[in-house]
Amino acid sequence: DAEITQSPRHKITETGRQVTLACHQTWNHNNMFWYRQDLGHGLRLIHYSYGVQDTNKGEVSDGYSVSRSNTEDLPLTLESAASSQTSVYFCASRQGDTGELFFGEGSRLTVL
Amino acid sequence: GQNIDQPTEMTATEGAIVQINCTYQTSGFNGLFWYQQHAGEAPTFLSYNVLDGLEEKGRFSSFLSRSKGYSYLLLKELQMKDSASYLCAVMDSNYQLIWGAGTKLIIKP
């Protein structure tokens, strides 16, 4: 069965460290997204990609970067982790512009 | 600005019916989604409305009125497993999803 997986599922790091969260999907979807989810807020878009070598900033992109070297993967990098980036991160993918999103299981990141 | 409003929390009784409302103001409209999210898990797709009216899918129904910027999710014959957060999201003119903060539904026996 096709799926979307994230790793690590839990990560504790220190302020200033670089952190990379992996996202891998086997749906062969062109569109991939990274969201963060915090209490009291809806899912907020960090970065997204519509295909290989395409990346775009979302509403909360500061301090984050992504790269898309193949269809399956969209890793999210925190260049210098800050306590404000403590959150649950969800990767998602969809085929086309209007299809439903399929979410990974989430990565809980704590920055101390 | 773009805004999605839904109640923060609702409580209902097992076997009953509950209606979760969502109002929105967005730049353009390309459909409205409802997702279910159990605690500690990923959101999963429930429904999609792009035209006015009611879409029924088993115990769950979703209604849309584009002129009023309003949708609701109706859950019938509530079961304990329906305890979850329900997320409303609107696809704007750029095909980006704008998410509400979610409604936590508590089911009591």
Is the predicted pLDDT of residue A7 greater than 80, yes or no?
A: yes
- pLDDT score at A41: 87
pLDDT tens-digit map of B34-44: 999 999 999 99
Q: Check residue B2 and give its pLDDT.
A: 84
Enumerate the residues of chain A whose CB falls inside 8 A of the CB of residue B102. 42
Q: Which residue, among B34, B44, B99, would best test binding to A if mutated, counting the most A CBs under 10 Å from its CB?
A: B99
Question: Which of A42, A45, A102 is opposite residue B102, by nearest beta carbon?
Answer: A42
Beta strands in A26-71 (DSSP E): 31-37, 44-51, 54-57, 64-66
**Residue A106 one-letter amino acid:** G
Could you identify the residue written with the tokens 């792009």?
B50
B51 Cα to chain A: minimum distance (Å): 14
Q: What is the rounded distance in angstroms from the CA atom of residue A46 to the CA atom of residue A56?
A: 9
Residues of A in contact with B35 (CB under 8 A): 101
- Neighboring chain A residues of B95 at a CB cutoff of 8 Å: 97-98
Q: What's the pLDDT tens digit per position in A66-75?
A: 999 999 999 9
